[in-house]
């Protein structure tokens, strides 16, 4: 069957690309090998947030007396927590099914492989094959958990993020988490809160290593306070799964140690799904395990586009969504604005939450900026005190010469909901003085942004 656009993959990049192309009058098909919504809706962003919400509620219940509320012996049903998470994911996936029907997009279930620049071979679960044709093909195959030779994932004792979301009862009593990026940190918080003894092993000198150094220090402090053990500058050399649990040989700055646990979660990053989709046969250029594309998402083969985690750039759902919409508009003859990859917010949903955008303090200095830095602790926030969530801070970085908003780094309650203000401000080329003169509501967590800016400019009145 002939189409204007075929999208290979229905994740947060693929399905918006298909919808936008359909809105712009194109005949569209989308090919998906597993579940509509891809990893994000089914095994990533959405179900993990459901798990984390259960952990938040349990944490509140355990500390209810702090708020003058009596809750006797709060407990949790681990199976019910997992079941709720799966229910949320299933509901969202069904929502994507509805959107496909609403936008008259043909959904073809099966494994897609490019056999020509305009042809895609789709192999269904029963082995039957069909050829789809289109003037434009969008590769949105996403990524999967990276595996290290020292800890091959077996799905039982050495697991990845997918298995971590659906572990059967009994809940593990102890867990080693290798890697402290967003995935590792979120699962560390979840399992520790639910009662599992968690040890984080991080190869880099600090946890959440892509974040501003002050944020890393604060999260480590809070995690240790919660009872999570943290080993930085450390590496898992091998894992023995022959016994009842696992034994991990770990190289540390002070020599090798052996750690024992029920289970090990490998959270050492994501690699692109590039295998067996026809890239080599068509001569589609790749570099460092990613598909090379131009500012419009075009690969080196005319009519073939690539978006999301299978391409360079941040492996984030919202990045893939914007890229997918832009590609659809380019196919339709529009001239979408190029992505600004230095204004992409990053969020980690552990507790306290982390949110950041733009330059870190070190990156700003390395780029040659003379900077003004302001930091406002939530300890000084009336709303944070009332909410019983005084951990963390807001840190802002401005160019001293022109007031350009170079970056912002937050750690604390609900900061993932606050970062969008900074993204919009930076998009509009807002200066520090304009943030100072924009009246923020009181009492809110969000006013900490204005207060941090006041700190940067020596105008603070609340600290």
Catalytic residue positions?
442
Pairing of strands 270-272, 28-32: unpaired
Pairing of strands 270-272, 346-348: unpaired
Separation of alpha carbons 229 and 336, rounded Å: 47
Which structure tokens are listed for 215?
């944020």
User: Which of 138, 96, 92 minimizes the C-alpha distance to 114?
Assistant: 138
User: Which of 244, 237, 225 minimizes the C-alpha distance to 201?
Assistant: 237
Q: From residue 323, how far is each of 15, 53, 117, 273, 289 by CA, in Å?
A: 11, 29, 20, 17, 19
Separation of alpha carbons 358 and 385, rounded Å: 28
Please say whether the beta carbons of 16 and 28 come within 8 A: no
Place of tokens 């996936």: 93
Which structure tokens are listed for 352?
């306290």
Place of tokens 């970062």: 419
Separation of alpha carbons 199 and 51, rounded Å: 19
Separation of alpha carbons 20 and 410, rounded Å: 33
Separation of alpha carbons 122 and 110, rounded Å: 6
């Amino acid at each position: 069957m002939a189409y204007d656009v075929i999208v290979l993959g229905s994740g947060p990049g693929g399905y918006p690309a298909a919808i936008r192309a359909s809105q712009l009058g194109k005949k569209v098909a989308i090919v998906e090998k597993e579940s509509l919504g891809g990893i994000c809706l089914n095994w990533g962003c959405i179900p993990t947030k459901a798990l984390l919400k259960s952990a938040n509620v349990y944490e509140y219940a355990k500390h209810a007396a702090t708020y003058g509320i009596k809750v006797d012996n709060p407990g949790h049903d681990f199976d019910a927590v997992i079941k709720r998470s799966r229910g949320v994911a299933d509901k969202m996936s069904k929502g994507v099914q509805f959107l496909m029907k609403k936008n008259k997009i043909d959904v073809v279930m099966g494994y897609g492989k490019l056999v020509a620049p305009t042809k895609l071979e789709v192999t269904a679960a029963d082995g039957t094959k069909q050829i789809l044709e289109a003037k434009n093909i969008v590769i949105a195959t996403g990524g999967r958990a990276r595996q290290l030779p020292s800890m091959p994932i077996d799905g039982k004792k050495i697991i990845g993020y997918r298995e971590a979301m659906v572990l059967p009862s009994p809940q593990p009593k102890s867990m080693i988490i290798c890697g402290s990026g967003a995935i590792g940190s979120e699962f560390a918080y979840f399992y520790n809160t639910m009662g599992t003894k968690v040890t984080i092993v991080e190869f880099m000198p600090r946890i959440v290593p892509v974040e501003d150094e002050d944020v890393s220090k604060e999260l480590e402090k809070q995690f240790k306070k919660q009872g999570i053990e943290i080993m930085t500058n450390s590496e898992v050399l091998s894992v023995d799964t022959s016994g009842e649990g696992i034994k991990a040989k770990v190289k540390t700055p002070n020599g090798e140690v052996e750690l024992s646990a029920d289970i090990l979660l490998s959270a050492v990053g994501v690699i692109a799904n590039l295998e067996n989709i026809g890239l080599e046969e068509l001569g589609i250029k790749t570099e460092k395990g990613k598909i090379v594309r131009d500012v419009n998402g075009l690969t080196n083969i005319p009519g073939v586009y690539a978006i999301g985690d299978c391409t360079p750039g941040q492996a984030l759902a919202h990045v893939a969504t914007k890229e997918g919409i832009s590609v659809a508009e380019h196919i339709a003859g529009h001239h979408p604005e190029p992505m600004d990859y230095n204004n992409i917010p990053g969020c980690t949903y552990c507790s306290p939450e982390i949110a950041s955008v733009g330059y870190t303090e070190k990156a700003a200095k390395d780029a040659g900026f003379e900077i003004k830095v302001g930091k406002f602790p939530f300890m000084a926030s009336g709303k944070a005190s009332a909410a019983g969530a005084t951990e963390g801070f807001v840190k802002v970085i401005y160019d001293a010469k022109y007031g350009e908003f170079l970056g912002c780094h937050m750690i604390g309650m609900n900061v993932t909901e606050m970062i969008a203000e900074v993204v919009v401000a930076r998009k509009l080329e807002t200066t520090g003085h304009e943030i100072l003169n924009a009246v923020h509501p009181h009492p809110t967590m969000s006013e900490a942004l204005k207060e941090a800016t006041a700190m940067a400019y020596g105008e603070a009145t609340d600290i």
